[in-house]
Amino acid sequence: MIISRGSKKAEPSWEEFGYRDVIPAGQLYTGTYHKSLRRAADALTDQSLIRIMSARHGLVTLERPLHPYDTQLGDMDAITPEQMARHTAALDLDDAHVIFLGGRDYAELLRQTLPHTLVPLTSGLGDQRAQCHTLSQSTELVRVWWQAAARLADHPRGTLAKDEPAQARVSLPPSTGPCPPATGAGGRSRG
C-alpha cells in the first residue's frame, strides 16, 4: 500500500513528537488531502504495510523520522526513477499486490518500476477525497480493490485481459464528504 505525500507539513516539536528537528513520516504530512489518503490506506491494510511516497525520500515507512522539506517531483533533489527502482526492489514489490493512492505524477513515477500497480483514484482532489471516504465506509469496496490489484499483479507487466479496464481503475459511487477516521485490515500486500 503506497500513498502520496502531502505538501502541508508539521513543524518539528520535542513536546509533540519527542524528536528534535525531525518528525515521523506518518505524522509529518498534515494536509486534508494526505489525511484522506491515509484514512483510506488504513481501511485497506495494516499500518505496517503502508509506505508514503516522498518526492525527496522515496518510499518511507510511517515511523521513519524525516526533516520537513519542500521538494516536488522534478526538482534537483527529487527522487529519480532509478532511485525509485531501488526502493521497490528493496521492498520486494515485483510480484506484490500494490495499490497506490495519490496524484498522477507520483503514479507515473511508481508505474515505471511497478507497472502492475493499481491506481484507483480518479479526477481531481475533491473527487479523490470523496472516493477515499467511500472506501473507508465499504468493506466490499476494499475487497474489490484488492481483487483488482491481484489481477494486475498476476498479469505480466501489469497488462489485463481485453475485457478489463485499461488502467484497472475501479469506479466508485459518489460520496458526500471527506474521509472520516477509519480502522482497517485487509488484502495481501507488501507495500
Tens of pLDDT, residues 118-154: 999 978 888 999 999 999 999 999 999 999 999 888 8
DSSP characters over 78-139: SPPHHHHHHHHHHTT-TTS--BEES-HHHHHHHHHH-TT-B----SSHHHHHHHHHHHHT-H
Mean pLDDT of the chain: 80
Cβ–Cβ under 8 Å, residues 149 and 119 = no
What is this structure's pTM? Answer: 0.79
Q: What is the pLDDT at residue 20?
A: 65
Helix or strand or coil: residue 51? strand
**Cα gap 155→39, rounded to integer Å:** 29
CA angle, 7 then 183 then 191, to 5°: 60
Instruction: Give the range with max mean pLDDT: 63-67, 97-101, 120-124.
Output: 97-101
- Pairing mode of beta strands 58-61, 51-54: antiparallel
Cβ–Cβ under 8 Å, residues 139 and 188 = no
* Residue 189: other Cβ atoms inside 10 A: 21
Contacts of 171 (CB under 8 A, 6+ apart): none
